Amino acid sequence: MRLQVVELLVMDAGVAVAQERDLEGDEHWRRFGAWLRAERERRGESRRTVVARGGLSFSTLRVCEDGGRVTRGSWIPVNPSNRVLYSLARGLELPAHLVFEKAGRRRPEGDDDETSSILALPEAERLIALERGLVELTAIVQELLRGRS
């Protein structure tokens, strides 16, 4: 049985709008946020360290750890994108599959932890990592070709 509540929200124009909220969803994201915070604290890391490593903004990590935020007087549960989940995994140095599992999500098909760690990097770092991989792959191919001659 799903628990739902109907709220009246007063919008900018002063119009009351009824909005259904899924209370189970609210609680899920609060538990997810509590788990993230516990993992960070268990490692003895600051939010600053996690955001730098994961390429996240400080506010994104805070909202994820809190399970949501208050906007216009109403609680809005967090609903992080897959990219944010990858960044959280990288920032906390956790396997991406674990973060996705705790978030109640499936990872994109064909994804693995090595691929996901590259996807979580900020753009410039991602290009550098891909370039390094290409250089390594080129060296391997050249070595194989030398062995054939």
pTM above 0.85, yes or no: no
Quick one: pLDDT at residue 110? 63
| pLDDT score, position 126 | 66
Higher pLDDT, 9 or 128: 128
Please state, in angstroms and rounded to a whole number, the distance separating the CA atoms of residues 94 and 34: 16
Tens-place pLDDT, residues 36-71: 999 999 999 999 999 998 888 999 999 999 998 888
pLDDT digits (tens, 9 = 90+) for 88-144: 998 999 988 899 999 998 877 666 655 555 555 566 566 667 777 788 888 888 888
Comparing 21 with 135, the larger pLDDT belongs to 135
The mean pLDDT value for 81-85 works out to: 88
Per-domain residue ranges of the chain? 24-122
- Residue 4's CB: how many other CB atoms inside 10 A? 11
Phi and psi at 122, nearest 5°, equal: -60, 155
CA distance 133 to 125: 12
pLDDT of residue 117: 56
Q: Are 68 and 76 in contact (CB under 8 A)?
A: yes
What is the DSSP track for the chain?
Answer: ---EEEEEEE-TTS-EEEEEEEHHHHHHHHHHHHHHHHHHHHTT--HHHHHHHHT--HHHHHHHHHTEEEETTEEEE----HHHHHHHHHHHT--HHHHHHHHT-PPPTT--HHHHHHHTS-HHHHHHHHHHHHHHHHHHHHHHHHHH-
Task: Quote the pLDDT of residue 121.
Answer: 58
Q: Which pLDDT score is estimated for 31?
A: 93
Q: What is the pLDDT of residue 138?
A: 85
CATH class of 24-122: mainly alpha
**Per-residue pLDDT at 97:** 87
The pLDDT of residue 45: 94
Place of tokens 């994820």: 64
Strands 4-10 and 16-22: antiparallel
